[in-house]
Amino acid sequence: MLNEDRLKLALDTELEQIKMSDKLKEKIRCDIVEKTRKSSLKAAVAFIVLITLCSTTVIAGYYINSRISVNKETLPELDSMQVVKANKIEGISDEDGFTEKYYKNYNELKTDLGIGFLDSKLATENPYITIYSYTDNKNFNTVQIDNYIIGDTSNFKPIPDMENKFSFEHGKEYFSPVSLTIDIILSEEQMANGMERDFLGMYEYVESYTSAYGYKVNIVVTTSGSELDNATVDITSQKSAIFVAEGIRYVLTGSVSVDTIKSIVDTMK
Position 67 scores a pLDDT of: 81
pLDDT surpasses 50 at 53: no
63 Cβ contact list (under 8 Å, min separation 6): 193, 194, 195, 196
Mean pLDDT of 34-56: 42
Residue 104, helix vs strand vs coil: coil
* Count helices and strands in the chain by DSSP H and E runs: 7, 15
What DSSP element (H or E) covers 36?
A: helix 22-38
Strand partners, 208: 218
Is the pLDDT at 65 greater than 80, yes or no?
A: no
> Residue 33: pLDDT band by 50, 70, 90 thresholds?
very low
Instruction: Look at residue 80 and tell me if it is in a domain.
Output: yes
Q: What is the pLDDT of residues 168-216, one digit of tens each?
A: 999 999 999 999 999 999 999 999 888 888 888 889 999 999 999 999 9
91 lies in a domain? yes
Question: How many domains does the structure of the chain reveal?
Answer: 1
Q: What is the pLDDT of residues 83-110, one digit of tens each?
A: 999 999 998 888 888 999 999 999 999 9
Is 83 inside any structural domain?
A: yes
- Average pLDDT of the chain is 81
Asked whether residue 41 is assigned to any structural domain, the reply reads no
pLDDT bucket at 64, cuts 50 / 70 / 90: very low
Q: Residue 118 and residue 246: Cα distance in Å, rounded?
A: 9
Burial class (CB in 10 A: 0-12, 13-18, 19+), 182: buried
Q: Which of 31-45, 116-130, 189-203 has the highest mean pLDDT?
A: 116-130
Evaluate whether residue 18 is within a structural domain: no
Mean pLDDT is lowest, of 56-60, 192-196, 264-268, for 56-60
Give CB contacts under 8 A, 24+ apart, made by 207-211: 207/258, 208/75, 208/76, 209/262, 211/243, 211/262, 211/265, 211/266, 211/268
pLDDT at 141: 95
The phi and psi torsions of 209 (rounded to 5 degrees) equal: -155, 170
Q: How far is CA 151 from the centre of its chain?
A: 18
127 lies in some domain = yes
Contact of 83 with 250, CB cutoff 8 Å: no
What pTM does this model have? 0.78
User: In the chain, what percentage of residues exceed pLDDT 70?
Assistant: 74
> Per this entry, what is the length of the chain?
269
Domain that holds residue 259: 57-265
**Cβ-contact 59, 190 below 8 angstroms:** yes
The whole-number pLDDT of residue 11 equals 52
Residue 103 located in a structural domain: yes
Question: Does residue 145 fall inside a structural domain?
Answer: yes
